[in-house]
């Protein structure tokens, strides 16, 4: 016991002496939680719009007005021909072209129907998809306005109309920050637990100090606990810091209980620390460890459901996410923060991360040898 306490003391001494790492541990969660949610904005604003108005009529002006008044579109260019407008897209000065053909108003009044063309720059598929669907909605509204203006509605609508109203549960205003912040927090906890642990042990290998420990009578479990506990504490610290930042900056206060959150993160950290430990048994240098860690972090992030929803992924990718521990933390964080899920709702998640914890640590202990 005395040995373990001393190992821990030494580890903390080294952590606190490494001023740069210490600063990063403090600054990283704060900066990332403040910056990332603003940058990872799903709402489309300022879609650059180019108009080719060949009609110059009252209705065409009205339609353009509809677009610019929504706030989503920013009229940056008016061209006289479609080709010229296309050139503007090529120069990256517009995302979307709306071409209003000659006789737009005339056809609308005379034939009751007309056509316009929307062309979107699809280099960023997400942007163009959203821009087109926004435009559709705007044109539909415009359509309805025109109809109510012209037609006296009969008392009973000849055709039944189904009107859809939606309500967004757990995040009524669809504030994407509520969605992103718990996810970023989950990533931060993973980063600290995984990368710092693996680098720390490999550092001992590089410095040769691990040999000195190996020839000493210290036990394997003492060594491993001596490595895991400090980074577990750091991970929990980052979590607390993250909760504080999300409350102060975004006013996000978990709907569910903190105890469940900490309990889950605690088990999760044991799993991810075990993974870090496992990595360190393979890597001989910090460079190798860093690269392995990066490889997994990229996969963890991209298959974690933080940015791209898991439901949108192809089947094989969805299966992969089942073995991604980060996925579970992100989901639990969201369920806890937004939905207020309790222990019973999360029981399977608890089971899964416990299994991860056993698996990674078991493998790491098997693979860690005091002799070569």
Residues 51, 76 contacting (CB under 8 angstroms) = no
Smallest distance, other proteins to C-beta of residue 287, A: 18
Nearer to other proteins, 139 or 218 (CB): 218
Nearer to other proteins, 36 or 365 (CB): 365
Nearer to other proteins, 13 or 117 (CB): 13
DSSP structure string for 187-216: HHHHHHHHHHHHHHHHHHHHHTHHHHHHTS
Strands 73-79 and 47-53, sheet pairing: parallel
Smallest distance, other proteins to C-beta of residue 13, A: 6
Smallest distance, other proteins to C-beta of residue 256, A: 41
First vs last C-alpha separation in the chain: 27
Nearer to other proteins, 161 or 215 (CB): 215
DSSP structure string for 43-70: S---EEEEEEESS-SHHHHHHHHHHHHT
Smallest distance, other proteins to C-beta of residue 243, A: 31
Nearer to other proteins, 151 or 215 (CB): 215
Nearer to other proteins, 250 or 368 (CB): 368
Residue closest to 273 by CA, chosen among 197, 327, 222: 197
Residues 30, 246 contacting (CB under 8 angstroms) = no
Nearer to other proteins, 179 or 223 (CB): 223
Measured between alpha carbons, how far is residue 126 from residues 93, 103, 349 in Å? 18, 33, 31
How many CB atoms are located within 10 Å of the residue 36 CB?
A: 17
Smallest distance, other proteins to C-beta of residue 280, A: 17
Smallest distance, other proteins to C-beta of residue 7, A: 7
Burial class (CB in 10 A: 0-12, 13-18, 19+), 158: exposed
Spacing of C-alpha 6 from chain mean position:
40
Smallest distance, other proteins to C-beta of residue 214, A: 6
Smallest distance, other proteins to C-beta of residue 206, A: 10
Residues in contact with other proteins by CB under 8 A are 2-3, 6-7, 10, 13-14, 17-18, 207-209, 211-218, 371-372
Structure tokens at 96: 């979307």
Smallest distance, other proteins to C-beta of residue 370, A: 8
Residue that is written with structure tokens 């001992």 in the block: 204
Nearer to other proteins, 12 or 359 (CB): 12
Element (H, E) at 96: strand 96-100
Nearer to other proteins, 11 or 55 (CB): 11
Smallest distance, other proteins to C-beta of residue 6, A: 4
Nearer to other proteins, 12 or 142 (CB): 12
Residues 193, 264 contacting (CB under 8 angstroms) = no
Q: Could you give the strand order of the β-sheet that contains 96-100, starting from the edge strand earlier in sequence?
A: 73-79, 47-53, 96-100, 117-120
How many CB atoms are located within 10 Å of the residue 238 CB?
A: 23
Residue 224: partners with Cβ closer than 8 Å, 6 or more residues away? 277, 361, 364, 365, 368
């Amino acid at each position: 016991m005395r040995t373990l306490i001393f190992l821990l003391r030494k580890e903390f001494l080294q952590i606190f002496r490494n001023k740069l790492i210490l600063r990063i541990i403090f600054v990283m969660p704060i900066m990332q939680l403040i910056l990332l949610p603003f940058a990872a904005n799903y709402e489309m604003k300022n879609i650059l719009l180019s108009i080719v108005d060949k009609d110059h009529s009252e209705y065409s002006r009205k339609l353009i007005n509809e677009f610019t008044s929504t706030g989503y579109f920013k009229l940056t260019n008016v061209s006289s021909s479609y080709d010229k407008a296309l050139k503007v897209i090529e120069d990256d000065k517009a995302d979307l072209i709306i071409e209003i053909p000659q006789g737009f108003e005339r056809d609308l009044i005379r034939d009751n129907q007309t056509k316009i063309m929307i062309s979107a720059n699809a280099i960023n598929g997400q942007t163009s998809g959203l821009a087109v669907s926004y435009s559709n909605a705007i044109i539909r509204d415009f359509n309805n306005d025109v109809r109510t203006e012209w037609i006296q509605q009969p008392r009973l609508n000849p055709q039944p109309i189904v009107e859809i109203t939606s309500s967004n549960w757990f995040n009524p205003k669809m504030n994407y920050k509520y969605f992103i912040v718990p996810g970023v927090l989950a990533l931060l906890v993973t980063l600290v637990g995984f990368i710092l642990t693996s680098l720390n042990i490999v550092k001992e290998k590089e410095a040769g100090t691990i040999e000195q420990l190996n020839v000493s009578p210290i036990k394997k479990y003492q060594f491993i606990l001596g490595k895991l506990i400090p980074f577990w504490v750091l991970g929990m610290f980052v979590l607390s810091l993250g909760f504080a930042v999300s409350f102060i900056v975004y006013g996000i206060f978990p709907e569910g209980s903190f105890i469940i959150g900490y309990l889950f993160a605690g088990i999760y950290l044991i799993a991810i620390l075990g993974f870090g430990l496992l990595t360190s048994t393979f890597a001989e240098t910090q460079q190798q460890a860093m690269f392995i860690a990066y490889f997994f972090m990229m996969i963890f992030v991209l298959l974690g459901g933080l940015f791209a929803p898991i439901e949108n992924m192809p089947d094989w990718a969805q299966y992969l996410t089942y073995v991604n521990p980060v996925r579970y933390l992100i989901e639990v964080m969201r369920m806890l923060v937004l939905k207020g899920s309790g222990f019973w709702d999360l029981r399977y998640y608890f089971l899964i991360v416990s299994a991860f914890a056993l698996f990674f640590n078991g493998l790491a202990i098997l693979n860690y040898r005091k002799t070569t």
